[in-house]
Structure formats: C-alpha cells, structure tokens
C-alpha cells in the first residue's frame, strides 16, 4: 500500500496491483475448495452476492470486486488440482529467489575493476613527448613587459627572442620559448591572462621552455599538456574558476627542473 501510494502514477504499479488482486482471489478460492466446499455452490454464492450488489439501491451493500468475474467462476467450476509445495519445492523456490537477487550484485562486483580500468584509460593525462623547463636570465637591454611580451631598447641592436612552434604554426610538433615570463606561460596554458593575479615576480621571472608533441595536436590538447607540465614541474595546484591566484611562490630564482 505504501508503494502504491507513493508511485500511484506509474503504470507498472497499476499492473502489479491488479496481479496481486487476482492472485489473492485465486488463493482464497483454492483454499475454500480445498476445505471441501462444492465448486458449484461456492460459485453460486459469489454470483448471488454480485446480483445483490447490482440490484440494491444502497451504496453500502457489500459486493465482489477484483479480477475478471467470468474467468474466476470458470476456474472455480474447473476445480483444477492445486500442486502443493513440499519442502523440496520450497527450497528450490527460495534458492531461485536468492539467486535472482544475488546475480546482479555479483555481476556488478566482477565488472567493477574493468569499469574502473576503462574510466582510468579514458582519463589519461596529456603530456608532451619530451619537455624541458629551465630558468632564463633576461639579457641586458631586454625587458619583460607587463603583458608578457619581450621588449628591447631602441638602438641596442639586440634581436628580440621569438617564441615559436605549437599548433597552428609552421612547426606544430615542437615549441621553443627561449624567453617567456611566468605570467605569459600561464596565459598560454589557461588562455585567461587578464584573470591571472599574483606576486610581481610573475612578470619579472622568465623561463626557457622546449617541448615536443605529435604534429596533429590541437590547441586545446596543447594547452592541457602545458598545464600538466606546469603543475608537474613547479608543483602548482589550481582549481577551475574565474580567477587563478597563486598566492604562494611555486617557482623561485635558482630552481632548475628539466
């Protein structure tokens, strides 16, 4: 009754409820006939109750409701022998019921390791084939600008170091960043320069990055590789959000990791 009350709208509950009424009436009829009642007398008694209910103008008269009345009367008159369950049949029925409950659980336990393995395979970290990250010194006459670009003093004759390679360039399978600020490196990895805030040395400290990757690497895959490289080499931790704020130093002068 509790399940019917909660899930009254589900068609399966309606079907189960109807089947339960039919089985309850069938069990009642079989028990009455087993105790020695005549099938015809019992069937006539049910029909008389139905006639009384149909003919009486009172709403409070008892009646017979439930399954198909015609089929119920036919089953009573046939008085088919009912197979009684002995101890062996009860044991077989109990084992079958327990197996029906235990089988899905057993299958879930057996398949769990393979499912975890598939999940792990589908979430393989993207990394560069070979990567090197080293601190870089800023040459005299060269300056790292706040937006991460490299500038040179006019008339110094110094050639501006160029960061080359990567997806969408003439050298998609390799990157060569001879001089790049930490903030610019974060910008390339997360593509969100204006949301990156942190200590001033993010703009002043520079690194040299060289890495190789498959030539068909997409920009999104390249950025994930670069993020994984940063978190692995510098121990940098982050969470998805609108801002990336490295409040504690994750790189300092003198650190060399390659």
Helix (H) or strand (E) holding 186, with range, is helix 182-190
Q: Is residue 204 part of a domain?
A: yes
**Percentages (nearest 5) of helix, strand, coil residues in the chain:** 50, 15, 40
Q: Is residue 186 part of a domain?
A: yes
Domain limits for position 108:
85-124
Does 76 score more than 60 pLDDT? yes
217 lies in the same domain as 156: yes
- Res 137: pLDDT: 83
- Res 216: pLDDT: 92
134 lies in the same domain as 115: no
Angle, CA 145 vertex, CA 140 and CA 148 arms, to 5°: 115
Q: What are the φ/ψ torsions at residue 173 (nearest 5 degrees)?
A: -95, 10
195 lies in the same domain as 176: yes
- Can you tell me the distance from the alpha carbon of 109 to that of 111, in angstroms, rounded to the nearest whole number? 6
Confidence class for position 253, pLDDT limits 50, 70, 90: very low
154 lies in the same domain as 214: yes
Mean confidence (pLDDT) of the chain? 76
228 lies in the same domain as 185: yes
Q: Is residue 103 part of a domain?
A: yes
Q: Is residue 58 part of a domain?
A: yes
pLDDT in tens, 149-195: 677 777 666 777 788 999 999 999 999 998 888 888 888 888 765 56
Q: Is residue 195 part of a domain?
A: yes
SS3 244: strand
36 lies in the same domain as 117: no
142 lies in the same domain as 221: yes
Q: What is the DSSP string of 28-69?
A: HHHHHHHTT--HHHHHHHHHHHHHHHHH---TT-----SS-H
Comparing 27-41, 72-86, 113-127, 184-198, the range with the smallest average pLDDT is 113-127
Q: Is residue 254 part of a domain?
A: no
144 lies in the same domain as 213: yes
Q: Is residue 248 part of a domain?
A: no
Q: Write down the pTM of the prediction.
A: 0.45
188, 236 Cβ separation under 8 angstroms = no
Last residue of a domain, one of 48, 82, 116: 82
- Can you tell me the distance from the alpha carbon of 132 to that of 208, in angstroms, rounded to the nearest whole number? 8
144 lies in the same domain as 198: yes
Last residue of a domain, one of 66, 98, 124: 124
48 lies in the same domain as 68: yes
Confidence class for position 4, pLDDT limits 50, 70, 90: low
Which DSSP category does 195 fall into? G
Last residue of a domain, one of 74, 96, 124: 124
Q: Is residue 255 part of a domain?
A: no
33 lies in the same domain as 59: yes
**Of 9 and 210, which is predicted with more confidence?**
210
- Res 242: pLDDT: 55
185, 192 Cβ separation under 8 angstroms = no
**Over the range 217-232, which residues count as b (16 or more CB within 10 Å of their CB) and which as e?**
beeeebbbbbbbbbee
- Can you tell me the distance from the alpha carbon of 78 to that of 19, in angstroms, rounded to the nearest whole number? 21
61 lies in the same domain as 93: no
- Count of domains in the chain? 3
């Amino acid at each position: 009754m509790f399940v019917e009350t909660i899930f009254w709208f589900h068609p399966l509950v309606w079907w189960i409820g109807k089947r339960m009424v039919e089985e309850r009436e069938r069990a009642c009829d079989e028990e009455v006939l087993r105790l020695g009642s005549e099938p015809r007398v019992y069937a006539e008694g049910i029909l008389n109750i139905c006639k009384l209910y149909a003919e009486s103008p009172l709403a409070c008269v008892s009646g017979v409701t439930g399954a198909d009345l015609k089929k119920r009367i036919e089953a009573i008159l046939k008085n088919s022998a009912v197979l009684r369950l002995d101890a062996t049949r009860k044991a077989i029925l109990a084992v079958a019921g327990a197996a029906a409950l235990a089988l899905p659980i057993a299958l879930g336990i057996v398949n769990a390791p393979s499912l975890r393995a598939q999940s792990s395979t589908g979430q393989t970290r993207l990394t560069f084939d070979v990567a090197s990250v080293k601190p870089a010194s800023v040459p005299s006459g060269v300056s790292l600008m706040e937006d991460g670009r490299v500038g040179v003093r006019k008339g110094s004759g110094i050639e501006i170091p160029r960061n080359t390679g990567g997806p969408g360039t003439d050298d998609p399978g390799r990157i060569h960043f001879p001089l790049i600020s930490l903030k610019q490196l974060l910008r390339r990895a997360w593509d969100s320069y204006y949301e990156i805030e942190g200590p001033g040395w993010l703009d002043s400290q520079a690194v040299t990055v060289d890495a190789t990757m498959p030539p068909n690497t997409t920009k999104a895959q390249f950025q994930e590789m670069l993020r994984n490289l940063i978190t692995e080499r510098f121990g940098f931790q982050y969470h998805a959000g609108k801002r990336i704020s490295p409040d504690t130093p994750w790189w300092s002068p003198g650190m060399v990791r390659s």
